[in-house]
Amino acid sequence: MTARFIAFEGGEGSGKSTQAELLAKALGAVLTREPGGTEIGMRIRGVLLDPATRALDARAEALLMAADRAQHVAGVVRPSLAAGRHVVTDRFAASSIAYQGYGRGLPIEEVRSLSEWATGGLWPDLTILLDVPHDMAVARLVRGLDRFEREDGAFHARVLGGFRAMAAADPDHWVVLDGTCSVDAIAARVRGAVRERLQLPV
The model's pLDDT over 159-196, given as tens digits with 9 standing for 90+, comes to: 999 999 999 999 999 999 999 999 999 999 999 999 99
> Where is average pLDDT lowest: 45-54, 65-74, 140-149?
140-149
The topology (CATH level 3) of 5-198 is Rossmann fold (3.40.50)
pTM: 0.94
Mean of pLDDT values over 106-130: 98
The Cα–Cα gap between 77 and 88 comes to 9
Q: What band does 105 get if pLDDT is binned at 50, 70 and 90?
A: very high
Give the model confidence (pLDDT) of 51-77 as tens digits: 999 999 999 999 999 999 999 999 999
Calculate ∠ Cα 95-3-122, nearest 5°: 40
Quick check: 142 pLDDT over 70? no
Cβ(13)–Cβ(151) below 8 Å: no
Rounded percentage of the chain residues whose pLDDT exceeds 70: 99
Q: What band does 133 get if pLDDT is binned at 50, 70 and 90?
A: confident
Quick check: 158 pLDDT over 70? yes
Helix (H, G, I), strand (E, B) or coil at 101: helix
The Cα–Cα gap between 104 and 62 comes to 10
Q: What band does 93 get if pLDDT is binned at 50, 70 and 90?
A: very high
* Ranges of each domain in the chain: 5-198
Within 8 A by CB and 6+ apart from 118, the residues are 66, 67, 69, 70, 73, 93
Helix (H, G, I), strand (E, B) or coil at 124: coil
Quick check: 113 pLDDT over 80? yes
Give the model confidence (pLDDT) of 5-39 as tens digits: 999 999 888 899 999 999 999 999 999 999 999 99
Give the end-to-end CA distance of the chain in Å, rounded to a whole number: 13
Within 8 A by CB and 6+ apart from 168, the residues are none
